[in-house]
Structure 1
């Protein structure tokens, strides 16, 4: 008789919608592990760039996935570190340009297939908080709770602008808005695992919600599903 798999809470949604804040809070709240699936695509895209592999050479990009040694360290954005082969890639991975590179390779079925099992390998006891775009629709279809966070492109661009400005980056709001719309277009219209809420997901529009209000709503979901500690 096989033992039951650890539980999963899947949190999906477009870029800049607050998935990072929510999933870090959930991981702390539950004591479960956390998967930032978007970071895996960013890492793979950067690895391809570093290796001189064109991002449209999908087979060659996908072949890099199996050899990447990845570690996620830290529980908050402030103390986060992402190590690849022992080197700290955190700054590069979180750059807006890297997100755009990741969105390009994420449209390729062979790339998605190469990263699928790597994502599922993060499912270990006591449970997993999975952050991404297809966690509830493809990677963990049996997730105990599926949440889809959404917000207007304008709100997401403004949030990203504030986030980057706090870090001292010089960014243009109009450029960020264009990038958000372009990434949405790629993510929602790709033929494999498009960005869409799972039929059984709880959709939360955060456009006009502050972080405490979002977390309060999710706290109620945990209670209703008896996932509170």
Structure 2
């Protein structure tokens, strides 16, 4: 039987995760992994189907590495979404929060689809022996990868940036120059996502900038979140 002094002894405090710093580290990891994956896949992809067969054969190891890295990039991005949302505290707006979450999840899904297309393309390069059939398979897979990664994924990334920038604008959790930069980058992705393959790097670079700023402002964001949580409990 525990003594009264043992019963009244307070439990040891639980450790707390530094959410803003964790968000920044997850964002940095996501940016590095996604940039690496997109350089290995989309940036180096030939413009013509005839060159793709040789590209698949010569770059098989690099493409396989990209397909292995993409799931970890997606996991990092999901962590980034969760901890960034936690930083909003009582400032959450249900409408923009819903758009923020859904667009982020759709972006990850589209990037997974594009990477799965590359994985299937690498596998089929050796299994499909008929030259005509191989050309058709390569042509279909290329267009699927381009459409998933540029037409759909980048536009979902633009919506993600717009919704997050709007939340920042209303809550003043981040500086106005970052809000303006987010709106500008999102507009570029919405309008010109199919104009250049290099635009696929705009989103991970933006996440990298946001992550570095979160690292620099981790204490300030944490204080504002804690103040909001205390106000909500008191009310």
Measured against the shorter chain, the TM-score band is: under 0.3
Larger radius of gyration: 2
Judging by fraction of residues, say which structure has more strand: 1
Judging by fraction of residues, say which structure has more helix: 2
With normalisation by structure 1, the TM-score equals: 0.26
